[in-house]
A = this chain, B = another copy of it.
């Protein structure tokens, strides 16, 4: 049995508490949050204790923590709990600054920390099935990855200000997926970025509509297309072309019904919120974390994965701002 503490009882903390409760071999032991009300709600629902972070750090009955606190605390907490000898599951991103992530990665390596960074999409059952089809050779050698990822609407302006920008906040998920699916590290990044949905986003120094082309050494390419607004909902599609075929994952709708009338045939809208769209993914990533802890196997998604995705985001921003192809420095993973 892996005994968990969740740090942060906000929206995403609750998601992970529920995931822990649903996973075989996992038990939620403690919740920590500066707001007593938030912690109490989780405590009463799952029967776990409310504790200070420092108490959790020292607790003999906690094997692993799930870090769901604000982004700017992630790297510190990872380091702290690695030093305390706890396994760590941390919501992405580790930090918005690549140098800080590199420093954190160093601590993880020195402490031989067991750290998983939460790239939940890899654990979505459909995307996982797509990856399995590729690994099973169903499409031959991977050539082109196409990721369409559009939010139903932009976040509040004040969130945009502290988000690190669309590439570090939104595209970062797609960078991780692209790396995972390309099966080779990315060598060059080319991006175009526009402001089309809300001029205020431009005034804040960010973009809302971007296209990115990633390219590996062997010439494989990935296209990522993002928009902060899709009137028709949360659009999450992946398509991979290989030498002998193509595999694609479709969007998920609120219900699998169709209404036909004089105007045509109407399918239900998309699942429109990332928590309902990725409910199964959140449970599956905790299950994968528990499985890795219990088997002693490799972490499915690591701090290094988090760093690589962030480097791609930084490179994409550079490319979009400077109108040029940006080359990454290869295995060491530094933007040149």
- A-to-B contact residues, CB < 8 Å: 22, 125-126, 129-130, 133, 138-140, 143-144, 146, 148, 150, 188, 190, 192, 194-197, 209, 211, 213, 215, 218-221, 223, 225, 227, 229-233, 235, 241-269, 323-325
Instruction: Give min CB distance, A221 to chain B, whole Å.
Output: 5
Task: Closest B residue to A232 by CB, please name it.
Answer: B260
Q: Beyond A221-B192, A264-B268, is A255–B126 a contact (Cβ under 8 Å)?
A: yes
How far apart sit A31 and B25, CA to CA, in the bound complex (Å)? Answer: 21
Q: Beyond A190-B190, A196-B219, is A246–B259 a contact (Cβ under 8 Å)?
A: yes
Instruction: Give min CB distance, A192 to chain B, whole Å.
Output: 5
* Oligomer copy total: 4
Instruction: Give min CB distance, A215 to chain B, whole Å.
Output: 5
A255: chain B residues at CB < 8 Å are 125-126, 129-130, 249
A262: chain B residues at CB < 8 Å are 231-233, 244-245, 269
Could you name 26 residue pairs across A and B whose Cβ atoms are closer than 8 Å? A129-B268, A138-B261, A143-B196, A144-B209, A190-B213, A192-B213, A192-B215, A194-B215, A196-B218, A211-B221, A213-B213, A229-B243, A231-B243, A231-B245, A231-B262, A232-B246, A232-B262, A244-B261, A245-B259, A246-B259, A247-B258, A263-B266, A264-B267, A264-B269, A265-B268, A265-B269
A260: chain B residues at CB < 8 Å are 231-233, 245-248
Of A138, A209, A266, A325, most B-chain CB atoms within 10 Å: A266
Q: Which of B230, B248, B257 contacts A258 (CB 8 A)?
A: B248
Instruction: Give min CB distance, A173 to chain B, whole Å.
Output: 18
User: When the two chains form their complex, are residues A227 and B266 in contact, meaning their CB atoms are under 8 A apart?
Assistant: no
